[in-house]
Structure 1
Amino acid sequence: MSRAKIKKKNMFIDMTAMSDVTVLLLTFFMLTASFVKKEPVQVVTPASISEIKIPETNIMSILVDPGGRIFMSLDKQNDMAATLEAMGKEYGLTFTPQEIKKFSLFPTFGVPMKNMKSFLALSTEQQDRILKDQGIPCDSIDNQFKAWVRNARAINHDLRIAIKADQQTPYAVIKKVMNSLQDLKENRYNLITSLKSSPEE
């Protein structure tokens, strides 16, 4: 006895709606995403339960690596350019418009002033390679870190200071940074930490 053959019907699923949703989601994430600023060194911040968010504008970021090297960044290009010019006047250096523009595009900076002009003359790849071994001097003889903060604050009075340090950074280094800020009457600043879960009660 022969079996009856069942005809297979071709199934068609319209994926147009799914494609539209995918494109909308992709567009949303592209428009709302914030780019991570390139930093010369990687640091592992200490954990805390604080959920206070740092403002997104008018920020002066101070980065301290485990070796005690200090780097800085300002979120506005105009502030970067004006601060470099002010530092040049203080240290007897004159920067060309091209050098100032190049500096204003840096995501993070941190070289002694005596090396600044030669550093600006390097290619981006060379700058990235040597920056991690530099750092802004912050000693009692030549505290350029204090000068950078003072000049940046003179340019933009609304700057908020945020310190990001590695959890292995010696306390003496952090204390030196804080003392420099206190000398400038800068007693309010944020410490950037990673969020950990609060202890269960």
Structure 2
Amino acid sequence: MLKKGKRRVAIRIDMTPMVDIAFLLLIFYMSTTTFKPPEVKSVSLVPSHSQVKLPEKNIINVTVTAEDSIFIEYIDTKTEIVEGKEVTIPQRFYRYAPIERFNYELVDVRRQLGLNVELVVKADRDASFGVMRKLMRTMQEVNINQFSLVTELEMG
């Protein structure tokens, strides 16, 4: 005798809830993530044709605003032991440095980070020449003779 086999019922998994959750997570992460840390002061840069990539680590950012205020920004890493493992935690610091105390602040930051850091100067196009001259002279006094100047890329 011939036996008829049972008919198999096709199983269909509804993917709609999973897609909904994926998009909700995507929207949540996009709305809560800060992609670039906010700057202390906004600076309109000087145009230039040069393209040199700045290093990602071991840098000290010196920002000169249009009001001739000077800010020092740097990232320092701190090592802590969490659950028996050493974890390095990067911390971003901002310091206001008046031109009269800039050399002391710069020496203090270099002492914290080490001497193998690169200095990056980001100056506003409306910053006064006198402040920039004092800044350069101060950097020479603390034996910093090489630095990078951040400019805006000019198209054309």
TM-score range, shorter chain: 0.5 to 0.7
Greater strand share, 1 or 2?
2
Mark the CA change 1:66 to 1:58 in structure 2 (over 3 Å): closer, same or farther.
Answer: same
- Is 2:137 the partner of 1:137? no
Corresponding residue SS for 2:44: coil
Look up the match of 1:100.
none
Mark the CA change 1:75 to 1:35 in structure 2 (over 3 Å): closer, same or farther.
Answer: farther
TM-score (norm 1): 0.52
Look up the match of 1:154.
111
- Is 2:95 the partner of 1:109? yes
* Offset at residue 151 of structure 1 (A): 2.1
Look up the match of 2:8.
none
Corresponding residue SS for 2:138: helix
1:186, 1:175 → 2: CA distance? 14
Structure 2 unaligned residues grouped into runs of 5+: 1-15, 79-89
Please say if residues 68 and 169 of structure 1, whose CA atoms lie closer than 8 Å, have aligned partners that are also in contact: yes
2:125, 2:132 → 1: CA distance? 11
Amino acid at match of 2:139: L
Corresponding residue SS for 2:94: coil
* Offset at residue 145 of structure 1 (A): 1.2
Structure 1 unaligned residues grouped into runs of 5+: 1-15, 79-103, 111-135
Moved more, 46-55 or 153-162: 153-162
* Offset at residue 171 of structure 1 (A): 1.1
Q: Say how many residue pairs are matched.
A: 122
Amino acid at match of 1:175: R
Greater helix share, 1 or 2?
1
After superposition, where does 1:29-108 map in structure 2 within 5 Å?
A: 35-78=35-78, 105-108=91-94
* Offset at residue 52 of structure 1 (A): 0.3
TM-score (norm 2): 0.66
Corresponding residue SS for 1:62: strand
2:63, 2:142 → 1: CA distance? 18
Look up the match of 2:143.
185
1:106, 1:138 → 2: CA distance? 22
- Could you give the per-residue CA deviations for residues 65-114 of structure 1, whole angstroms, max 9, x where no partner exists? 11111101112244xxxxxxxxxxxxxxxxxxxxxxxxx8454221xxxx
CA-based RMSD: 2.9
Q: Which has the larger radius of gyration?
A: 2
2:59, 2:92 → 1: CA distance? 15
- Could you give the per-residue CA deviations for residues 123-151 of structure 1, whole angstroms, max 9, x where no partner exists? xxxxxxxxxxxxx2212xxxx21112112
Mark the CA change 1:107 to 1:38 in structure 2 (over 3 Å): closer, same or farther.
Answer: farther
Corresponding residue SS for 1:157: coil
Moved more, 166-175 or 151-160: 151-160
Look up the match of 1:194.
152
